Amino acid sequence: MAPIKPLGEQPDKPVPRVPKSPSRTAQIQAQNRRREYLSRHPSYFDNLEHELADPVLYERLVKRFQSALEREAEGKAKGYGRTLEADLQRGESKLKRLKDGDLESSGGDLEHPWEKPAADKAHGLLLWHAFLEERFVHGLDEDFDYKPVDADEDLDTMIRRDAQDAWFDDEEPSWIDEDESSAQLPTRQGETGVQDF
């Protein structure tokens, strides 16, 4: 192991990063496109089917804060079959967690913000949307066809912005004269609008 140099002896040159592999670059590009898709289509979060992604988490973050009227309206919108399916999956998930010993009170570091308890309804919805976004970006929504999103170059806003910034950085402003000594300042003639009294 190389000795650690004091701050005064550190080289002034930055150490370049190891270039990313083409597969990692493609994965990052697909994830960026998916994030941009979500920002353009916020209606994705309104789908009631997302409850089935993690029924226990949905119950803890969203359902817990709903009023009886809101639950009833959601139940009518989903239908009896979907409500029953969500309840069955919720029960199975709880049993599996108990069997595996993966209780919420097991301690340890929380790696995701949605694993923390929600303070109120708005906070719960925010955490639920964060969970859905992370799930979508990593391609875990089995009901969604990611191919059109991953192939849509129109969603590459960051790449387009970086290319535009590079173009502006490279372009020489047209109003700057290379030889400023030969440039003559325009002289004012006639009515200048300047009061000279």
pTM above 0.85, yes or no: no
Rounded distance, CA 73 to CA 69, Å?
A: 6
pLDDT of residue 108: 46
pLDDT in tens, 98-127: 777 654 444 444 478 888 888 899 999 999
Contact 112, 131 (CB under 8 A): yes
The three-class DSSP label of residue 151 is helix
Burial zone of 131 (CB within 10 Å; 0-12 exposed, 13-18 middle, 19+ buried): buried
In this prediction, residues 74-90 reach a mean pLDDT of: 72
> Lowest mean pLDDT: which of 29-43, 44-58, 78-92, 127-141?
78-92
| Rounded CA separation 111/123 (Å) | 17
